[in-house]
Amino acid sequence: MSEIGLLIAADASRDLRTLPSRPEMEQAMLAGDGSYDGVFVVAVRTTGIFCLPSCRPPRRPRPENVEFFGTIREALFAGYRACKLCRPLELEGGQPAWVEQLMARVEQTPHERIQASDLRGWGLSPERVRRWFQRRYGMTFSAWCRSRRLAEAFTRIREGADLDDVALEHGYASHSGFREAFGQTFGQPPGRSEQTKCVVTAMLDSPLGRLLAAATDDGICLLEYTDRRMLERNLATMRRQFAASIVPGQHKWLKLLSDELAAYFDGRLTEFTVPVTPRGTPFQERVWNELRRIPHGTTISYEELAARIGQPTAVRAVANANGQNRVNILIPCHRVIGKNGDLTGYGGGLWRKRLLLDRERNRPN
């Protein structure tokens, strides 16, 4: 295994506290339990291959020859190849069937209070559900459901609905309980919701992996690859810059973004119309605005980008602002390359940068 792979594996081992216990993972592996797909992957040292827990190879690996990773990315960077039988890369950015069914239930009946006993009745372990949502969304399943209810309540109140009616509609037995939950999430009581701000988030699938998108009423303020190491820091920065709580939900700009991304990756769209509202320093915002002027299918160098904003000697600062872009694809920092034509750093990985540029250059007629 390469030195870089060992470093990544060591980093993954430091994060084992977020994974199920090793005996639990071994048991799931031996049973081929598909409900653990998306929670961890199984890497076999003797073959150099990693699989989903549900994979059923002709011969089960011996536990002493196995190591576990929390993400497909960690397994890849540790030097393992994807199994051709269970095809774990097809799960990248996706989610197990049990998660899709659970989330669909929440969307159909958002006011329903799902208890641990309900999960067990559906054949799901509450601990497993909690871990999966914690790893993927940074919150427990209960917190995710609560945020969905409150986000919807927030919208209803701003539309003029009666406070008591909203509290009862969203499963709160008392006005005071609703006010407390609302205040904890949004930072102020529901009676002042006209002044309350929130950033609405959603997960979007793409050919390059899963994306976390976020929107305010002004437009898209975040579009990041979910496997990027800076994701949590960027979320914290966004929360501070917008002085707003971050909640999962639906929003008109997220719907438009999803439709336009699909058209973009299909080669049917070259210019996005969804509004973008990044927050940064005045210098960063100048760089980001200039990035949006780079035509689809073309590239420029960092030197040219610096010249375009009228600061030809600020190449290093321009490169840093480029790297601080938190609205990928819409603000096309991938269109900036080295002066000699080589691809240079990209937060989502050079392989994504290469694929984006190839798609734009070879768009179908």
The CATH code for residues 198-265 is 3.30.160
- In words, the CATH class of domain 3-91 is alpha beta
pLDDT range class, residue 335, cuts 50, 70, 90 = very high
Of 83, 145, 198, 333, catalytic: 333
CATH 1.10.10.10 assigned to 282-361 = yes
- Strand 336-337 and strand 211-216: the pairing is unpaired
The segment(s) of the chain belonging to CATH 3.30.160 are 198-265
Average pLDDT of the residues in 321-342: 91
**146-160, 192-206, 251-265, 321-335: least confident range:** 146-160
pLDDT, averaged across the chain: 77
Q: Is the pLDDT of residue 151 over 50?
A: yes
Here the tokens at position 68 are: 């576990």
Candidate ranges 157-166, 288-297, 315-324; pick with highest mean pLDDT: 288-297
What pLDDT score does 206 carry? 86
Please say if 145 is a catalytic residue: no
Please say if 83 is a catalytic residue: no
d(CA 198, CA 319): 31
What pLDDT score does 334 carry? 95
The segment(s) of the chain belonging to CATH 1.10.10.60 are 97-190
The segment(s) of the chain belonging to CATH 3.40.10.10 are 3-91
Of 51, 83, 86, 221, catalytic: 51
d(CA 234, CA 220): 14
What pLDDT score does 15 carry? 39
**109-123, 229-243, 290-304: least confident range:** 229-243
- Per the model's pLDDT, the better-predicted residue between 285 and 210 turns out to be 285
The segment(s) of the chain belonging to CATH 1.10.10.10 are 282-361
Q: Write the CB contacts of 265 (distance below 8 Å, at least 6 apart in sequence).
A: 206, 207, 359
pLDDT digits (tens, 9 = 90+) for 189-234: 544 444 446 788 887 888 888 788 889 889 999 898 876 655 556 6
pLDDT digits (tens, 9 = 90+) for 43-90: 888 787 889 999 988 888 888 889 888 877 677 656 677 888 888 876
Q: Is the pLDDT of residue 364 over 60?
A: no
**Domain 97-190 adopts which CATH fold?**
Arc Repressor Mutant, subunit A (1.10.10)
